């Protein structure tokens, strides 16, 4: 809930900032301040191409677009040193934070030091900037505060990394925890003598090249919410690849897992169809057998999914039932182990 509130707040602030920057750019253009208008327009481009403005901005080419807008803003600020007076001096204060947020740390350090050095050199011959020395002091202080904020951000990220168990886009459990969690469930199943199954779910993207990757990824949050609605409180689901998920079903036999997989597959197909995507879903099911460990059970489900997609997709395939042919759109019955 806190994470959703944070995203909501950042999204609103991002949109408000974009509107304010567009207003500044328009007003300065009308007042005959082209440099300020250009800087505000470039800054608005940075905002609108960021992931806080829209979740889909995390995918390419948006990160590159955002870095391109930052490069344009940087060039405008550099040009402002020689146009005098320094109408863009106040924009320098936000530059260090923007640099560390948008480009790799090494490049951000180079950009910040370069701008600081140029600013200090330019003050020696600047004309029409009465408070230029105070501006440099404020800029250096801003650099120190930015460095402190970057350090605190990285420190927080390192401290919270072990606690992040969910994929940000789909809210599925992180892949890093899959093997450990699956190992625990296998041990519990063997200790209690109960069944256990896993389902590997994948989009049949090879059957339709008409949907661009960005459109497919935009539906992933809804897929995650649908999977969450279809599992029990003690089931877990993981995002194991870009367009693949794995569901752990404790206490479920392979035959029951096939039925569940078909329910999920048809539900996801309806979801994709309702959003105008001509895509199908395939699932691979594997039940726990004697001698299985976390890696072998995952591999069995992955092999079953691969087999289903090789047969044309739009079907469910159990790992132990390959000896019986499946009809498209129908689950295969349990057969002898392969």
| Contact (CB, 8 A) for 298 and 182 | yes
pLDDT at 127: 53
d(CA 296, CA 302): 10
- Do 195 and 309 fall within a single domain? yes
- Do 238 and 198 fall within a single domain? yes
- Do 26 and 97 fall within a single domain? yes
- pLDDT tens-digit map of 126-175: 555 555 667 677 777 877 887 787 778 777 767 655 555 677 677 788 77
Domain with 259, as residue range(s), is 175-321
Rg (CA), the chain: 27
| Contact (CB, 8 A) for 332 and 324 | yes
141 in a structural domain: yes
pLDDT at 295: 92
Instruction: Give, in degrees to the nearest 5, the angle at Cα 308 between 305 and 311.
Output: 150
- pLDDT tens-digit map of 188-220: 999 999 999 999 999 987 555 454 455 677 788
pLDDT at 1: 39
Which stretches of the chain drop beneath a pLDDT of 70? 1-10, 55-56, 58-59, 83-88, 122-133, 135, 157, 159-165, 168, 206-215, 320-338
Number of domains in the chain: 2
| Contact (CB, 8 A) for 93 and 135 | no
- Do 229 and 153 fall within a single domain? no
d(CA 145, CA 314): 55
Residues 6+ apart with CB under 8 A from 254: 195, 197, 285, 286, 287, 318, 320, 334
- Do 155 and 191 fall within a single domain? no
pLDDT at 267: 94
Instruction: Decide: helix, strand or coil at residue 19.
Output: helix
| CATH number for the domain harbouring residue 194 | 3.30.70.270
CA 55, distance to chain mean position in Å, is 7
129 in a structural domain: yes
* φ, ψ for residue 67, nearest 5 deg: -65, -35
Find where tokens 């879903």 sit.
281
Q: Where are the alpha helices (DSSP H) in the chain?
A: 2-30, 34-48, 62-83, 95-102, 105-122, 132-160, 178-192, 213-218, 220-230, 254-274, 294-310
Task: Decide: pTM greater than 0.85.
Answer: no
| Contact (CB, 8 A) for 293 and 182 | no
pLDDT at 3: 46
| Contact (CB, 8 A) for 236 and 293 | no
Residues 6+ apart with CB under 8 A from 21: 40, 41, 43, 44, 47
CA distances from 245 to 77, 83, 167, 248, 284 (A): 46, 56, 11, 10, 10
d(CA 235, CA 248): 6
- Do 149 and 285 fall within a single domain? no
d(CA 277, CA 92): 45
């Amino acid at each position: 809930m806190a994470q959703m509130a944070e995203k909501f707040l950042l999204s609103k602030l991002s949109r408000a900032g974009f509107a304010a920057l567009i207003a500044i750019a328009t007003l300065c253009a009308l007042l005959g301040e082209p440099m300020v208008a250009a800087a505000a327009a470039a800054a608005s481009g940075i905002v609108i191409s960021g992931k806080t403005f829209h979740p889909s901005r995390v995918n390419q080419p948006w990160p590159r677009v955002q870095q391109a807008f930052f490069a344009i803003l940087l060039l405008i600020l550099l040009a402002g040193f020689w146009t005098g007076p320094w109408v863009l001096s106040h924009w320098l204060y936000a530059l260090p934070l923007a640099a560390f947020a948008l480009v790799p740390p090494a490049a951000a350090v180079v950009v910040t030091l370069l701008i600081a050095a140029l600013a200090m050199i330019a003050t020696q011959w600047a004309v029409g900037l009465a408070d230029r020395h105070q501006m440099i002091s404020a800029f250096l202080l801003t650099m120190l505060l930015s460095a402190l904020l970057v350090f605190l951000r990285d420190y927080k990220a390192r401290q919270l990394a072990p606690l992040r168990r969910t994929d940000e886009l789909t809210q599925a459990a992180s892949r890093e925890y899959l093997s450990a969690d699956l190992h625990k469930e296998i041990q519990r199943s063997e200790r209690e003598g109960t069944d256990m199954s896993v389902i590997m779910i994948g989009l049949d993207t090879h059957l339709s090249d008409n949907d661009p990757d960005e459109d497919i990824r935009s539906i992933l949050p809804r897929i995650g919410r649908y999977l969450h609605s279809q599992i029990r409180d003690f089931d877990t689901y993981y995002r194991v690849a870009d367009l693949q998920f794995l569901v752990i079903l404790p206490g479920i036999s392979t035959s029951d897992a096939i039925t569940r997989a078909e329910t999920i597959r048809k539900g996801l197909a309806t979801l994709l169809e309702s959003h105008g995507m001509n895509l199908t879903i395939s699932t691979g099911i594997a039940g726990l057998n004697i001698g299985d460990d976390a890696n072998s059970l995952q591999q069995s489900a992955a092999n079953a999914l691969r087999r289903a997609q090789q047969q044309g997709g739009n079907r469910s395939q159990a790992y132990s039932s390959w000896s019986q042919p499946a009809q498209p759109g129908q689950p295969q019955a349990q057969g002898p182990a392969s």
